Amino acid sequence: MSSPVYFASVRARGDAESKIMKVRRLFDAAGFADCIQPHDFVALKIHFGERGGDAYINPVFARQVVDRVHALGGLPFLTDTRTLYKGSRANAIDHMTVAYEHGFSFATVNAPIHIADGLAGRRGSNVVIDRKHFKAVSIAAGIADANAMIAMSHFNGHDVAGFGGAIKNIAMGCATQAGKQQQHAVKTMVREENCEACGRCIPVCPTGALSRGADGKAQIDKEHCIGCFDCMNVCHTHGVDIDWEADVTPFMERLAEYAFGAVKGKEGKVGFMNFLINITPDCDCVPWSDAPIVPDIGIVASKDPVAIDAASFDLVNRQMGLSGSLLETNLAPGEDKFRGMRCLTDGCHQLRYAEEIGLGTQQYELIEI
Ligand code: SF4
Ligand code: SF4
């Protein structure tokens, strides 16, 4: 059986067709009103963007969802969790500061911000899921305690997962710090033949696991590596890398299991919106926003996180790739843009495994509004 995924293109001529109105219409078309009862705490899970990036979801779009939730009598709050890496959102205070800098003020979004895992990322609830990798997962208290959730996800590329959408947003984004560590659990390694001893990776490591060896090349203290992938993001030569054969498949499975835990207990109370706008090569955790790899496409909404990511993946791949971006191969319509950037990734494994564990279905019916 397929799940409906509602789609609105970015084309806009006249007020009724503005993207802002389309967010509202998508909320209604996808039946999100059924998810929310009066007095429900409604978590609007969003990524506020790392300082330095600018491709995160426009707060004006978040405002439309907030207003819809208010109209239904719900109590909306915008939420995310602290990061594992040492960036601009590594504790709740810094995180809220960046959110305000990026325009997520009360005046704009009409709702408070609540960092769901507390000041230091430790406030969580164990949610029993009884799956292959985890018996229980550590979900941020503010997400676990919410009655309903609308996950607004910026669909983009990811250096290890291939792409990130609804599944990744609720998996990594709803986990406590301990939960993020459980999901990453991948150690990077130095590929000496590729390392050019530039030293760029060393200062970005949040745990001091990286240093220079006698030959000037990077070396990793594996005991202290938390698998945040920050070093991979700054290395242009694959001098630091992961074991793609052994590590990537379980990483994506752990993501899917955490996504499963984030929505467990909220059956019928969760909606998903993916924004296929500013489709950058990297997730919004990096402190920059590289040029988009395909033109802006639109916004999709569904109650099924697997179906919405499957549809988003297909919509991106149908586009002609943008030359001058990180995408240098697979530019033709129909070709896999994410593998075009990172040939070793297979983002679809998150979809396959998420379907296998009962999070949703990859079969979707795309309904344009
Ligand atoms: S691993 Fe990459 S970033 Fe680090 S020193 Fe070597 S070439 Fe530079
Ligand atoms: S070595 Fe790389 S992946 Fe490991 S903690 Fe440091 S920056 Fe993160």
Of 310 and 243, the one with more pLDDT? 310
- Give the model confidence (pLDDT) of 147-178 as tens digits: 999 999 999 999 889 999 999 999 999 999 89
Domain that holds residue 309: 3-176+267-368
Residues sharing a CB contact under 8 Å with residue 82, sequence separation 6 or more, in sequence order: 89, 90, 91, 92, 95, 115, 117, 120, 121, 177
Q: In angstroms, what is the span from residue 199 Cα to ligand 1's centroid?
A: 5
Q: In angstroms, what is the span from residue 65 Cα to ligand 2's centroid?
A: 36
Residue 250: both structure tokens together = 């379980």
Q: Quote the pLDDT of residue 119.
A: 92
Residue for token pair 């609830």: 125
Contact 336, 317 (CB under 8 A): yes
Contact 123, 139 (CB under 8 A): no
**Residues above pLDDT 90, as percent of the chain:** 83
Regarding whether 338 and 226 lie in a shared domain, the answer is no
CA 40 vs CA 45, 146, 147, 299: distances in Å: 15, 7, 5, 25
d(CA 129, CA 174): 15
CA 253 vs CA 97, 162, 248, 355: distances in Å: 33, 13, 9, 11
In this model, does residue 106 exceed pLDDT 80?
Answer: yes
Regarding whether 231 and 159 lie in a shared domain, the answer is no
Q: In angstroms, what is the span from residue 213 Cα to ligand 2's centroid?
A: 16
> What is the average per-residue pLDDT within 27-50?
98
Ligand 1 in reach of 192 Cβ (< 6 A): no
Q: Nearest CA to 306 among 347, 251, 248, 249? A: 347
Ligand 2 in reach of 205 Cβ (< 6 A): yes
Ligand 1 in reach of 209 Cβ (< 6 A): no
Any domain includes 256: no
- Ligand 1 atom closest to Cα of 234? 3
Residue 365: both structure tokens together = 């019916």
Give the domain CATH number at 214.
3.30.70.20
Any domain includes 113: yes
Any domain includes 172: yes
Any domain includes 67: yes
User: To the nearest 5 percent, what fractions of the chain are helix, strand and coil?
Assistant: 35, 20, 45
Contact 186, 247 (CB under 8 A): yes
d(CA 184, CA 292): 26
The CA-based angle 178-182-186, given to 5 degrees, is 130
Closest listed ligand to the CA of 187: 2
Ligand 1 in reach of 122 Cβ (< 6 A): no
Any domain includes 120: yes
DSSP states of 163-202 as a string?
Answer: EESHHHHHHHHTB-HHHHHHHH----EE-TTT-----TTG
Helices marked H in 235-347? 244-263, 305-317, 337-341
- Ligand 1 atom closest to Cα of 212? 5
Regarding whether 203 and 65 lie in a shared domain, the answer is no
Q: In angstroms, what is the span from residue 50 Cα to ligand 1's centroid?
A: 23
Any domain includes 147: yes
Residue 114's DSSP bridge partners are 79
Residue 216: both structure tokens together = 């000037």
- Give the model confidence (pLDDT) of 301-360 as tens digits: 999 999 999 999 999 999 999 999 999 999 999 999 999 999 888 889 999 999 999 999
Regarding whether 285 and 236 lie in a shared domain, the answer is no
